[in-house]
Structure 1
Amino acid sequence: MYSGNRSGGQGFWEGGGGAAGAEGPAPAGTLSPAPLFSPGTYERLALLLGSIGLLGVGNNLLVLVLYYKFPRLRAPTHLLLVNISLSDLLVSVFGVTFTFVSCLRNGWVWDTVGCVWDGFSSSLFDYEHHPDEYEAFKQCSFSEYLKTKKLTPNLQHFVLHSIAMTSESSCTTIDGLKATKNFLQCLGRFGNTPFLFPLYGQGEIPQCFCRMCAVFGGIYCLRHKVQCFVVDKESGRCKAIIDHFGQRINAKYFIVEDSYLSEDTCSNVQYKQISRAVLITDQSVLKTDSDQQISILIVPPAEPGACAVRVTELCSSTMTCMKDTYLVHLTCSSSKTAREDLESVVKKLFTPYAEAETDKEELTKPRVLWALYFNMRDSSGISRSSYNGLPSNVYVCSGPDGGLGNEHAVKQAETFFWEIFPGEEFCPPPPNPEDIIFDGDDKQSDTPGTNNIIMAKPESSKESKNLESPENHLQN
């Protein structure tokens, strides 16, 4: 995995800050023009807050380290404690720091924006336990909720587009709070930013799950469209599928991506559309001295009601493009064709190749070397009842969506897993190599405290042969 190093949004900070209680006129935005307590009181408060902060960081960090170091502690019950510890750790780091520094300076040293952000960020990590704070805004947009928190317009803009990275028109209050909390909780986990990107591109993620599926005894069929289902008359469950090659595949459960289903099965499905653009450029849109970077930029809509455009720029260090070039992805929900939705943003950030050839001396923006615009369907959020004749043991997963991460895909995989294997642990941590016991190793199987992992095998050589022989697939 490759850790990105930047995120950006169109907005800026305003308001100044200074040491409260200093001689001379207080700077604009300072909340405490004079000390409220005596110096001795501030010293005691600083000592108390410092002790609370250090204990909070130390204790909660110890819990997280122990959970990470000892696999036997990774149980569902302990995961709740880890979640609480992580929230307390973030409150200790982000919530106590502002007040602690102010006590050392005998007064509030941050400006009005810092005061509002201190209270807003501290309550954000624990917003689930205070539903009364946002109960009246559940049906409202996240931008309307931010306006009620006395945040400045620029700070509202910054939270919406550079932290939550959501659309101003379509993002609800709950989704905005989740996105903001997720951003803040991911800071510092694997680098200086909350972003990770796989080397060689997003295609490495499904490849990883293909291998994981094979290791645990599953069958992964690539590029096999479903022509029809073979359904048992008594139970109504699917016992096999026939692909477009006429090959029969038997299994107890089937998980298939939406685009591999037949047109008859999807005839009643109403799909949303995503506008995409892929560019190859000669410079970075956000210039820096580093040659290893991933830039994420949210471009707010130019017109009210339109969707924001997310720009993701990858450098050659991610192994997705040639040296001295950059691969840029632009994504938004479709309202028109992809070119109509995205071309204005491309012209704002980049220089078309034809214009660059005519006037190279005044070239200040990155030059577009190659561009592709296309629309793709978004199958996320589709109800199971929308598909025709879908047996109960066939699960349809959605394809790529317009989200920044893969949260929807992970949530969907977890839901399918609980339906197929209720009571089992979802995606358990891999065992240590010394704990793996192979089938037939009777001497070590009685050793206490070890986890037995047995590789799945076909029940007979005949069944194995049936899976490989095309002439036997159509036999029922």
Structure 2
Amino acid sequence: MADEFLFPSIDPTHFELTVVGTGLPESIIAASSSSIGKTVLHLDPNSFYGAHYSSFSLHDFTSFLQSQQQQEQKQLTKEEEEVRDSNSSRDTNFIEIELKHQCLYSDIEITSNASSEDLEPSRKFSLDLSGPRVLFCADSVVNLMLKSGANHHVEFKSIDASFIYGEDGKLFTVPDSRSAIFKDRSLGLLEKNQLMRFFKLVQAHFGLNESMLQQEKNRISDEDLESPFVEFLTKQMLPSKIKAIILYAIAMVDYDQESPEQCKNLVKTKDGIATLALYHSSVGRFTNALGALIYPIYGQGELPQAFCRAAAVKGALYVLRMPVRSLLLDKESRQYKGLRLASGQEVFSDQLVMGPSFIVPAPPVLSPHTDLQQDISQGSILREVNGHVARAVCIMKGSIKSNVSNVLVVFPPRSLLPEQVTSVRVLQLGSNLSVCPANLFVLYVSALCDDATKGKKSLHAAINALLKCSISENRETSAHLPDESEVVTPTLLWSAMYIQQLTKVSEDPISSCPMPDGNLGYTDILESTEKLFRKIYPGEEFMPEAKAPEDVVDEQESQ
């Protein structure tokens, strides 16, 4: 009982929406709900913001993974359930259902090849839990930040260059613009013309060039749009090297598109073209961004915090270090009513949204004939495992490319190993992003996989390749690069490798937010989040545009 006094009392006790967890989707839901005038209580059992989208110091990152490794799912015995049921009747109107937690991470390996002094100070590191992840300058998340005003709470820098791993063990620059194509020395004149012609076709199809839009021959037919993207690229007479660049380094496709029998996601042309259009519209959108991609200073954990701040400005109430003990259901209707917190306090709300780590067990006290029992038994408890993401975080001394800090590298399927059926993506970040001390670099590596063994094998192969491969001189600026004989060899100081499970949550009475996926960007996460918001508040505007401060002053003066 003494511990209960450590928790603050929450007042008021009734809200229109309660959100548990401060991950990016939960934070967007809170910000959007508060912006339409809903009263929001936002809780998190952790002492930090971001949940699975957090950025940690080196010490905290290690501690978090170790805690995940040691975490055991507590199984209630029949006697405990009976005690819980009897104790839950403090208010005879409610049934209490204890929440459980699922661990998303497994097969954790932490290796250090350096002394503690080499990695000090720990607080200088800001390590992402679900990296590698970047934002396209023109994607929907950036637009949402601008619309909501969350952009005022975070700063970005551009990713300096993108590379693709070639068959000869070298890294080649990804030509992502007309000027880059002309400067690229690895492409022949015919290849440059083919790539330019294809990019013009994409621009014409989406109306980015109005004069081309008038030419019907530059439109992509409906039949082609529904065909596999790889077949459409072949139809355009593009050589294998150009197809690999378009598929895996620009369209960011995961699975090997050349092997349909083994491909779990054969991308259609309409989807591939849409990603290309996003990529090209991102190049040059912001004057301080060199290419298509940007990354938040201090790490991706700044994104959920930015939306939390936007929600707080609109009146949302935030309480960290507040675990949720159980759900409260109405005994008559079996509908959700509120939560019992670790402090013992009961708080109530009309709607509830939870992060992906929380599981609602099937309540033994409910009749199997009730709709809620059926929904929970089919939804929240049995979450279908829908694959895994192998992730690695490395700390290195020395950059994989001389004189460049922030670099994206893509290893196409089967470029490292015959059994490598998915792309491996690597994001290197330097101290100019405030994610590590000077002269050190952080490497994020990820790949979709069926199991831990295959996933880690691909990650190890990519890391080993980067430690010994050189950059091909394929730009006119190559005079500033080291000689071909001067191979850049970074030193691996520390690494953490782990497997994150991907689960598919069916529709259930308690809304659950999406977990971090295996994509490089946030687009799919945002789409799922918006869908969840519209389920909770049908007919309401998702994230209304924030008013400028001068507009608020004018509105107040006119009242």
Q: Is the 8 A contact 1:224 1:243 kept in 2?
A: yes
Select the residue among 433, 437, 454 that pairs with 1:318: 433
- Does residue 230 (structure 1) correspond to residue 346 (structure 2)? The answer is no
**TM-score normalized with structure 2 length:** 0.53
Who wins on radius of gyration, i.e. which is larger?
1
Q: How does 1:298-317 map to 2 (within 5 A)?
A: 298-302=410-414, 303=418, 306-317=421-432
Change (3 A) 1:115 1:410: closer
Select the residue among 398, 408, 419 that pairs with 2:524: 408
Cα distance per residue 1:384-436 (max 9 Å; x no partner) = 33xxxx43xx3211121111111122222322333333443322332222232
Q: Choose 397-406 or 338-347, whichever is displaced more.
A: 338-347
Percentage identity across aligned positions? 26
Cα distance per residue 1:228-264 (max 9 Å; x no partner) = 3222356554221234554433222211111033465
SS of aligned partner of 2:247: helix
Match of 2:37 in 1: none
User: Structure 1 unaligned runs (5+)?
Assistant: 13-92, 99-107, 352-361, 447-476
SS of aligned partner of 2:350: coil
Decide which structure has greater strand share.
Answer: 2
Change (3 A) 1:221 1:334: farther
Select the residue among 419, 426, 433 that pairs with 2:549: 433
Match of 1:5 in 2: 160
Q: Is the 8 A contact 1:226 1:261 kept in 2?
A: no
SS of aligned partner of 1:172: coil
Change (3 A) 1:347 1:115: closer
Match of 1:284 in 2: 399
Q: Is the 8 A contact 1:334 1:341 kept in 2?
A: no
Kindly provide the amino acid, as one letter, of the partner of residue 235 in structure 2: T
Change (3 A) 1:236 1:135: farther
Kindly provide the amino acid, as one letter, of the partner of residue 434 in structure 1: E
CA distance in 1, matches of 2:457, 2:505: 30
SS of aligned partner of 2:495: strand
Q: Is the 8 A contact 1:281 1:369 kept in 2?
A: yes
CA distance in 1, matches of 2:465, 2:530: 41
Kindly provide the amino acid, as one letter, of the partner of residue 350 in structure 1: L
Q: Is the 8 A contact 1:225 1:260 kept in 2?
A: no
CA distance in 2, matches of 1:122, 1:112: 15
CA distance in 1, matches of 2:223, 2:347: 49
- Does residue 181 (structure 1) correspond to residue 305 (structure 2)? The answer is no
Select the residue among 289, 309, 320 that pairs with 1:211: 309
CA distance in 1, matches of 2:542, 2:521: 20
Match of 1:200 in 2: 298
CA distance in 2, matches of 1:114, 1:329: 30
Q: How does 1:31-430 map to 2 (within 5 A)?
A: 112-114=193-195, 116-126=197-207, 133-135=221-223, 138=226, 141-167=228-254, 168-169=256-257, 170-173=265-268, 174-190=270-286, 191-222=289-320, 226-233=324-331, 236-243=334-341, 246-262=344-360, 266-271=380-385, 272-287=387-402, 289-290=403-404, 293-302=405-414, 303=418, 306-337=421-452, 338-350=455-467, 364-379=488-503, 382-385=504-507, 390-391=508-509, 394-430=510-546
Change (3 A) 1:211 1:350: same
Change (3 A) 1:213 1:112: closer
CA distance in 1, matches of 2:197, 2:488: 38
User: Structure 2 unaligned runs (5+)?
Assistant: 1-155, 168-176, 183-188, 258-264, 363-375, 469-485
Whose RCO is larger (CA < 8 A, sep 6+)? 2
SS of aligned partner of 1:229: strand
